[in-house]
Amino acid sequence: MSTSTSVAAVVLDIIATIAPDEDLDDVKPDVRLRDQLDLDSMDFLDIVMELRKRYGIEVPEEAYPKLATLDSCTEYLGPLLEGKL
């Protein structure tokens, strides 16, 4: 499994945990997650907190825009998750 596939799977798994009613089968990697899914700012904070809890990754507030799409999550989180997956 490539790192980008792994990172996308991690993000989708976290979203499935915090928003279990969302259908994640057709999430487009280049469209903002909040435009595709019914996620609010609290859900987004839950994603960030889950990343910290599961993988010890701190996402500073100024980096939040880098988590807008699955592609941008992969780009930003890939190096941070290296060796943790």
19: domain CATH number is 1.10.1200.10
pTM assigned to the model: 0.92
Boundaries of domain holding 43: 3-81
CA separation (Å) from 39 to 19, 74, 85?
Answer: 8, 19, 25
Q: Which amino acid is it at 61?
A: E
Q: Provide the pLDDT for residue 48.
A: 97
Q: How many domains does the chain have?
A: 1
pLDDT tens digits for range 27-82: 999 999 999 999 999 999 999 999 999 999 999 999 999 999 999 999 999 999 99
- Structure-token pair, residue 22: 């969302």
Q: What is the maximal distance between C-alpha atoms in the chain?
A: 31
Q: Provide the pLDDT for residue 1.
A: 67
Place of tokens 């989180």: 77
Q: Provide the pLDDT for residue 4.
A: 79
